[in-house]
Structure formats: structure tokens, C-alpha cells
Amino acid sequence: MNFAKHILSILKNNKTAVLLVVTENKGSSSGKQGFKMIVDSDSKMVGTIGGGITEFQLISKAEKMLKENSTEIQLQRQVHKATNDKDKSGMICSGENTIALIPFDKSKTELLEKLSEIIENNEKSIFKINNTGIYIENIEEEREKFIFNKKSDTDWAYSEIIGFKNSIYILGAGHVGLALSKTMIDLDFHVEIFDNRPKLNTFEQNTFANKKQIVDYTEIDTIIPEGDNIYVLVMTFSHHNDFLVCKKLLKKKTKYFGMLASKNKVKTIKEKLLLENFAQEELAKIYSPVGIDIKSETPAEIAISIAAEIIKVKNTVK
């Protein structure tokens, strides 16, 4: 979620909010580093820091901060062991979390607007929190996505890379493209969708994608980038367009390259690509027929099957 955009919407309604961020997790713990949750002054909540009694307790802490108009950033350690005396969470899964609670009011509007723009435009920056405030820094060299250093309760810093998450490029804005856009946004992907058909109703209905564009598929290779965080899904409305897009993009370095097609269609397109001097190794990178086999039929079911395959690739393929 674009957490900055959501907090801005809360502030514009003359409310205040607390952002909860998991800055550290150890062992068996449901709240992973980087998980975020927002609690507003009406006790409405968005996101999660892991659920369970830990989340419940920290929501209560955030609500108390809002009622007291607290402006101080607080750090809370939660230990999930029944035998622990200090910072005991009430859970027994044996891990532990540290969570930062950051209050927001209208004085932070300018910072949030900048953060929201960075996230929306998928720009690579560092989001940094310490006991004195929130900062945005440029990335000058490669570094870990999350860094947490703590010397004491008043001397600590957490930072994460934002605006450079996994990106999926969907070629074909039909019913499955619409459903997949929604699913992949929910999975925290940056989503861009393309089609070559003007005034397509499902294209116009797509309010989920971060970016949508009517394009000429003969120029698609100049639009789609390459990299270890790039996922490509080909699902145009015709065999000709599928072949053209594959021909233009298949040589690019991507984490995932899938094509929505029947086995016969896949076979035909691969045969044509071989005639275009593509190697068998290049053709082998195409995931098709695309998706985990769950006998999916509706666009929503197909989107879930594709998303499941993408998650598997993201989490297991180096």
C-alpha cells in the first residue's frame, strides 16, 4: 500500500494517525520486517503488523497516543515467550518483534506528499526513522532493503528502501488483465498495464494499476525495462500480438515471463520464434500455459493462479 497517500487522506479529513512499522523481527514471528499498519483517530485501521494479540496491544497503544495528541515516536519491543518477564507479548511462538509507532498530523503533510510521490512513481529512495523524526534520503550505493540499529531506546535508527519494489508489466488489458491488476496491487507489486485497443472498457475500468497506457506493440521493447525485479505477463487478444510481444521482449532479462495461452497456441508461437533465431534456452523461460493448475475458469480465478505462480518464482527462484 502507498502508506503515505493513505495517511494524507486521513489528515485531509481533519484526523490524525499513527503509523506502526515492524523495524525488526527475530525467530518465529508473524510480523515481518517492513510490515506496516495505520491507525487513525477514529480507530479505523489499514494494513497489518502480523495480527494476533501483539497487534491488538499495539493498536491500543496507538489509540492512546492519538487521544493524548502525542508527537513523540515510540519504540516497542514484543517478546513472544511465556517465560519472558520483560516486554512479554502474550504469544508463545518464541520469536520477537520491535515496532516503531510514528504519530502524524498536518505538520507532516509536505513530507508525506514527497513520500507518496516516490512510492507512486516507483522511484528508489530510503525511508528512514529514528527517535527524532522521519527522513527521506537518496540511494548512493547498493545496500540491504532493511537496516535496524539500536543502541538504546533513545538511540536507534530504522531504514528501508522504498519505491523500488517488484514490478509487473501486463500486456493485454482484458478481463484477466483487470483482475490480475487488482490481485498484484494487493500483493504490493508496482503494476503497469498496456493494450493497443483504444476505448477498451476493461482498460477504462482499471483503477488498480499504477500506470496504464495504449501502445503500439511494435515499440513495446522501448517501454518495458529489464532487471531482477521485473515480471512480464503476455495476454493480448490475438496470436499475432502475443508472438510480436514475445519477439520484442523475450531477450530482455526478467525475473518472470509468462504467457496466457493454450498448449497448442504456445507450441505454435514457440515454433515461430525458433524461425526467428531464438534459442531453446530462451523459449524455456516462458511460463505457459501460465499459472498454477487449480482448474481456474473465471478471470478472478485465473488471476489468482497466475499470482500464485509469480509468488513462487519471487520467493524461490534466484
What are the grid coordinates assigned to 216, written together? 503500439
Comparing 50 with 99, the larger pLDDT belongs to 99
pLDDT tens digits, one per residue of 239-273: 999 999 999 999 999 999 999 988 899 999 999 99
- Identify which of 192, 304, 318 has the alpha carbon closest to the alpha carbon of residue 255: 318
Q: How many CA atoms lie within 13 A of 306 on its CB side?
A: 33
Q: Which of 68-82, 243-257, 294-308 has the lowest mean pLDDT?
A: 68-82
- Confidence band (pLDDT; 50, 70, 90) for 80? low
Taking a C-beta distance cutoff of 8 angstroms, is the pair 288, 258 a contact?
yes
Taking a C-beta distance cutoff of 8 angstroms, is the pair 287, 309 a contact?
yes
Helix, strand, coil percentages in the chain from 3-state DSSP, rounded to 5: 35, 25, 40
State pTM to two decimals: 0.68
> Side chain identity at 263, as an amino acid letter?
K
- What integer pLDDT is reported at residue 27 of this predicted model? 66
Question: Listing from the earlier edge strand, what are the strands of the sheet with 125-130?
Answer: 133-138, 125-130, 155-162, 146-152
Domains and CATH numbers, the chain: 3-162 (no CATH), 167-316 (3.40.50.720)
- What integer pLDDT is reported at residue 252 of this predicted model? 94
- Identify which of 76, 83, 92 has the alpha carbon closest to the alpha carbon of residue 27: 92
- Quote the CA–CA distance of 96 and 84 in Å, as a whole number: 11
- Confidence band (pLDDT; 50, 70, 90) for 89? very low
Model confidence at 103: pLDDT above 80: yes
Alpha helices in 142-198 (DSSP H): 175-186
Quickly tell me which residue has 548512493 as its cell.
140
- Quote the CA–CA distance of 170 and 177 in Å, as a whole number: 7
Quickly tell me which residue has 532487471 as its cell.
227
Measured in Å, how far apart are the chain's first and last C-alpha atoms?
A: 25
Quickly tell me which residue has 532493511 as its cell.
146
The whole-number average pLDDT for the span 133-143 is 85
pLDDT tens digits, one per residue of 194-221: 999 998 999 999 999 989 999 999 999 9
- Identify which of 126, 134, 56 has the alpha carbon closest to the alpha carbon of residue 100: 134
* Summary count for the chain: helices (H), strands (E): 9, 15
